[in-house]
Copies of this chain bind each other. A is one copy, B any other.
Amino acid sequence: MKTKNQVKLEFPSIPENVALARVIVATMLAGMDFTLTDLDDAKVAVSEAVSNAILHGYQNRPNGLVYLTITADPEGLEVIVEDYGRGIVDVAKAMEPAFSTLGDRMGMGFVFMQSFMDKVDVDSQVGRGTRVRMYKACRQAMRAVQ
């Protein structure tokens, strides 16, 4: 990739689209300086963020819209997942390991996002929605820093 590529997606909050988000992110990463391990890691992170938008943001209602913005440049890949759902009351608390507002869940989604991506920012407003921004640096960019 010589220049910047920015792909924007909009899709309804149904579980089928988690797989779609994964494939799109993986395909964009595959054209860059990343390994299969990087792809697997990013796929888990994106699955978690999109699942959260559907399950928590829209409480599993199929009529919400999820927005995915993927920006690739020679340094790395940025993924933004947005929903206009219920929002998060306490983001710091929500990001703690094993915290979940649903009884039967592991509460590890944000932990996975943070361990598999180089950077994760969460912006949320109750009743407005949630925006998760994740970044993964290319292998080459990583080497340059070391």
- A-side residues, CB < 8 A to B, are 1, 3, 5-12, 14, 16-17, 19-20, 23-24, 27-28, 31, 62
Contact = CB atoms under 8 A, between A and B. Distances in A.
Number of identical protomers: 2
Contacts of A3: 14, 62
Q: Is the interface of A mostly helix, strand, loop or mixed?
A: mixed
Q: Please indicate which of the listed interface residues A7, A8, A12, A19 has the most CB atoms of chain B within 10 Å of its own CB.
A: A7
Contacts of A11: 5-8
A28 to B, nearest CB: 7
Contact of A7 (B9, B27, B28): B9
Contacts of A14: 3, 5
Given A19-B27, A23-B23, A28-B20, A8 B10 contact: yes
Nearest to A31: B16
Given A6-B11, A8-B9, 10 more contacts: A3-B62, A5-B12, A5-B16, A7-B10, A8-B10, A9-B9, A20-B27, A23-B24, A23-B27, A24-B24
A126 B73 CA distance: 33
A100 to B, nearest CB: 27
A23 B7 CA distance: 14
